[in-house]
Amino acid sequence: MVLEDFMLSHLLDVVGGFFSNPSNLILSFLSIAVSLTLLHKFSDKNISRKQRIALVYGHLAFLFAPLVFLALSISCPVASLGCSVTLTQTFLYGIPVLLLMTVLAGFVFLPRYYQRTSIQFPGPVREFVKKESKRLKLSKTPGVFSVDSGKPDAFSISFFKPRIFVSVGMQEILGKKELEAVLLHELAHIKNASTWFKFSSAILKVFSPFAAIRNFGFSVEAEEKKADDYAARIQGTRRHLNSAKRKVSFNC
């Protein structure tokens, strides 16, 4: 309790000193104003999904900029874990660092982990995905990987380098047309940047207190319906997709 009281007292002193400077106060106010403007723009239906995703990270960057400025404005005469300045800086940097690590985990580490623990599908499946990617006018043809798992599952990652992962368990229970329906479903998710948008919406809800004021977010049901509708439209029937869903549901 003594250490906590000491840190709180020092933090309040630091905050008071920082905002007593008119320049710091104005910069912080402008940063938060820009952050709120970007968040408001997020609800504009006329902008693309990728632009909305960019707005999420722009909002968070400007929102936490004052914390970083505050941490940089203080210094400790001697580097020491016992120094009140060091403890205060650690606290102030905590949220931005946690945000950065979460983003890196979602964008870099997890996709690399899945790819390293999977193997590429044989040629015919890759050719099917390549053909359908051209139909969707995707800028990059997604890689298709087989995941060593007995649980029927399929998912896609659309960050930077798009990839589709299908478990061995799913491959074992689906026929050719059913597997193609699943691949079409995942390609639609990649086209719509569904995974990227879902992850970014979750980040927004967790790290931005202002996001709770309005309903900024991701509808799983709406995204799944879009992907289902696309697969059914390309195949000319919902039979293969519905059959795949029944088999997956039965074997889960």
Dump pLDDT digits (tens) for 80-128: 445 555 666 676 678 888 888 988 888 888 888 888 888 888 889 999 9
| Domain shared by 144 and 237, yes or no | yes
List all residues 6 or more positions away from 242 whose beta carbon is below 8 Å from its beta carbon: none
| Domain shared by 45 and 132, yes or no | no
By mean pLDDT, which of 30-39, 74-83, 201-210 is the weakest? 74-83
Q: Which of 97, 129, 156 corresponds to the end of one domain?
A: 97
| Full residue range of the structural domain in which residue 121 is found | 117-251
| Domain shared by 79 and 130, yes or no | no
Total number of domains constituting the chain: 2
Q: Which of 29, 64, 97 corresponds to the end of one domain?
A: 97
Token code pair at residue 203: 């980040």
* pLDDT value, residue 80: 45
CB-count exposure of residue 23 (10 Å: 0-12, 13-18, 19+): exposed
| Domain shared by 123 and 240, yes or no | yes
Which amino acid, residue 213?
A: I
Q: b/e per residue, 130-155, with b = 16+ CB within 10 A?
A: eebbeeeebeeebbbbbbeeeebebe
Q: Which of 34, 68, 97 corresponds to the end of one domain?
A: 97
Token code pair at residue 206: 């967790």
Answer yes or no: is 210 within a domain.
yes
Answer yes or no: is 14 within a domain.
yes
* CA dist., res. 26 & res. 4, Å (int): 30
Answer yes or no: is 128 within a domain.
yes
Strands (E), the chain: 118-120, 143-147, 154-157, 163-167
* pLDDT value, residue 233: 96
